[in-house]
Amino acid sequence: MTAISILIRVIDRQSEGETLMTDQLRWTFLFFLVTVALTSSHSNARAETNQPNFVVIFTDDQGYGDLSCFGAGHVSTPRIDQMAAEGMKLTSFYVAAPVCTPSRAALMTGCYPKRIEMATGSSFGVLLAGDRKGLNPDEVTIAEVLKTAGYTTGIFGKWHLGDQPPFLPTKQGFDEFFGIPYSHDIYPYHPRQDHYNFPSLPLLENEQVIEMDPDADFLTRRITERAVSFIQRNKDKPFFLYVPHPIPHAPLHVSPPFMEGVSGDIVATLEKEDGNIDYRTRDKLFRQAIAEIDGSVGQILDTLKSEGIDENTLVLFTSDNGPPKNTLFASPGPLRGHKGTTLEGGMREPTVVRWPGKIPAGQPNDRLMTAMDLLPTFARLAGATLPTDRVIDGKDIWPTLVGNAETPHEAFFYHRGNQLQAVRSGNWKLHTNKGKPTQLYNLHDDIGEKNNVIKTHPNVVRRLMGHIKAFAKDIAGNSRPAAYVKDPKPLAKSTPVN
């Protein structure tokens, strides 16, 4: 019975002569009921217009075949599998580059990395410590778009879009940051340290370096704890939570609870590291590293449920690029290729999205979607306005996620650095070399890119080459610069960052 109906019943019975309470108690009771009724009405109205929360969990170097719900037998991911059963597997979900920095730049801005001059670092394929280059503060990130709609924003994990003060997450729309500015192997224990001469790895909280060379075995746990705290502190307002885990990028690190079952020989070898990281032995912790990621996803999902906001939160899990070449355990599954390549194994990622009651449960979706699409899609769902003064390559994929709408992408373009090397349109994928077509695959029939049919489909080749030429012309005329600083310096604990 609602407060309003109770109120009506009390008044009716009073009018019939029943003596139910004293006048003073009656008016107190009536005042209480009216207050409850109005509050309930207000709450219902607020619920009907609620903006959803967004959680993006972004791992590092995880292959298409590195989730058990994507067919893996070498790892076990029960919580992500549960997420897939309650949500949707996206089996043709792409990142815009096969390595860290450009992939993350595309996620944040909704743009191909070459369009925003973020396809490489200033002197390497990705940004390094003390790099003079970074994501231009004039770019508009997902975090900045959502903040215009009243969202609180947080990132906990690996950034890798510039470690100099103007490029840090708190200068790119994030209210909170806890994590590392780039990959955790950019530090003095790198196998090729004699070549790179990397400085110590900084751990930041917002814009302050709080530790140097943190114990990486506990990074995933600490990142998860911060993510859980962020949810708990912001449960009563819309938020965007970005959790870019540093693993399973090598060297693999795992916290003690997930080391159970590891052989004594491996444990003994790791205990002798003494600062010199044994990458090859740590590669054998891949199953445990994925288990800890899976456990982190489970903690985040459990927190959303315990805080009562599970049904108003979209959660998406994916990775930044495919597995490295010659890794012991990471797998592209049925795909050909690996990190650094524009074959499917380098850029097609194992992706799961869940939003109870909104995204259909237990249904795989093979329509082409990309990480660049998150910005315009989240903007639509949040009621935010996209910038109109620039080209954004991402598309609103909400109709594709919840209905029968086809992909909004007429074509998707694969880059390695600044080189445009392939295009996909529909089921067809065309590879090129120095601007000339070399390989054609029907991905519907040949997901592993094994049967080159370029000689038997000249019309398809001509059509896809038309897409490549048009896109190259568009990029040339509609691109924006990255940002650079003078005299960059690696971050240190004594460095004033802000």
In the residue annotation, 160 being an active-site residue is answered as yes
Q: Quote the strand ranges of 355-455, DSSP E.
A: 369-370, 412-416, 419-425, 428-433, 436-442
- List the Cα angle 328/414/116 in 5-degree steps: 110
Structure tokens at 138: 């004039």
CA distances from 47 to 42, 44, 53 (A): 9, 5, 13
CA distances from 221 to 82, 299, 300, 493 (A): 21, 10, 12, 22
- ω before 251 within 30° of 0 (cis)? yes
The C-alpha atoms of residue 145 and residue 337 are separated, in whole angstroms, by 34
Active-site annotation holder among 42, 69, 74, 160:
160
The C-alpha atoms of residue 477 and residue 391 are separated, in whole angstroms, by 11
Q: What's the DSSP call for residue 323? A: P
Residue 172 CB neighbours (<10 A): 26
Q: How many residues does the chain have?
A: 498
3-state SS, 10-27, equals HHHHHHCCCCCCCHHHHH
User: Shortest CA distance to 203 belongs to which of 181, 225, 185?
Assistant: 181
The C-alpha atoms of residue 107 and residue 142 are separated, in whole angstroms, by 8
Q: Are strands 348-354 and 88-94 parallel, antiparallel or unpaired?
A: antiparallel
CB 7 within 8 A of CB 30: yes
Q: State the Rg of the chain over Cα.
A: 26
Count of H-run helices and E-run strands, the chain? 14, 16
Active-site annotation holder among 42, 69, 74, 100:
100
* Complete DSSP assignment for 28-61: HHHHHHHHHHHHHHHHHHHHHTPPPEEEEEEESS
Q: How far is CA 11 from the centre of its chain?
A: 56
The C-alpha atoms of residue 93 and residue 294 are separated, in whole angstroms, by 20
CB 121 within 8 A of CB 128: yes
In the residue annotation, 253 being an active-site residue is answered as no
Structure tokens at 449: 């890119």
Cross-strand partners of 423: 413, 430
Q: Which residues are catalytic?
A: 100, 160
